[in-house]
Amino acid sequence: MADQAKVGEAWPDSRYVFTTGLGEPIYPDTVTQLTGKVIRAYNAPDSEKAPAKPLPHARLDDLRHVHATLLLIAGVPVHVVAERLGHADPAITLRIYAHVIRTHAAGVAGIFAAAAAESESANAAEDETDEDEGPEASALVPS
């Protein structure tokens, strides 16, 4: 934003995250290489002592995978994650992150059981307070 303020109206509306000081796109490998440099600088600072817990080696793409994995674990719908990652089709996201989805699908049965029990107890409470709200559900199904 500071560079954009300096350049003013000459700043191109490119919507790039990483740009030169003039708002032009940078060479893609620059950001990829920067990730390793930042991690190395953190782990072995010039003037300070090294951190107690150094960061592991990571590529820029690893950060992208962490982002997607954490969103999926948190229950964000696949189509939303796919859009954030720039996947044209959520099926791509499903293929890449199927292991994450399968691992966390085990808890879905418990969530369903809890919701069904809650719904059942709510319906039982309504039955006690409402004498006649209409026909039984079975009466609505054609025979």
Q: Which residue has the higher pLDDT, 43 or 11?
A: 43
pLDDT digits (tens, 9 = 90+) for 56-97: 999 888 999 999 999 998 989 999 999 999 999 999 999 999
25 has which bridge partners? 19
Cα(133)–Cα(26) distance, integer angstroms: 66
Cβ–Cβ < 8 Å for 71, 58: no
79: number of Cβ within 10 Å:
12
Helix (H) or strand (E) holding 91: helix 90-96
The whole-model pTM stands at 0.57
Quick one: DSSP state of residue 19? Answer: B
Tell me, what's the pLDDT at 81? 96
- pLDDT value of position 103: 80
Identify the residue whose tokens are 């409402």.
Answer: 130
pLDDT number for residue 97: 94
**What does the angle CA 81 – CA 35 – CA 46 come to, to the nearest 5 degrees?**
145
pLDDT digits (tens, 9 = 90+) for 93-121: 999 999 888 887 777 788 888 889 888 87
Residue 20 confidence class, pLDDT cut points 50, 70, 90: confident
